[in-house]
Amino acid sequence: MRPPRVAGPPPETPGGKDREKWSTEFSRLRTEIAGLEQQIALAQEGIRAAAPDDWSFSPTGGGMPSDPEVLRLRAQLRRDRQSLEAARQRLRDLDVEASLAGVPDDWMQPPTAPAGD
C-alpha cells in the first residue's frame, strides 16, 4: 500500500505531521484498545461471578437472566465490544493514512523496552 519511493530524503513531516504527532496518535489508539480489552475481560469476569453456573435451566421463553447486575454487565460488555471494534478500525485507518503519507515504519511502532528489562 506504499506509494513508490522517490529518490531523495524523506520529508520531515509526512502527511503534515512530525514524528512525535504520528507516534502519539498510534500510542493513544493502542492505549485505548488495551484499556477496552481490559474492561471487556473485567465485565466477562463479573458476569461469570454473578452467574457461576454455565448451565441455566429455565422455562421456555424465559432464558434471559433477570439479575440487574448481569443485565448491566452484559449491556456494558456490548458497548465495550462496539467501542473496541471502532478503536481497532481507527487504528487500521491511521495505519493506511500513515502508509500513504510515507511515514517511516519506526514512527508507527510502539516504543521498545530497553534490553536490560
Whether residue 62 has pLDDT greater than 80: no
Prediction pTM value? 0.73
| pLDDT value of position 87 | 98
What does the block give as the cell for 64? 434471559
Task: Provide the sign of the torsion angle of the four alpha carbons 55, 46, 81, 76, taken in this order.
Answer: positive
Please, what is the angle between helix 68-101 and helix 19-50, to 10°? 160
- Domain assignments of the chain as residue spans, ordered by start: 19-52+67-108
pLDDT in tens, 5-58: 555 545 678 888 888 999 999 999 999 999 999 999 999 998 888 876 655 555
Distance, CA of 55 to chain centre: 31
| pLDDT value of position 60 | 58
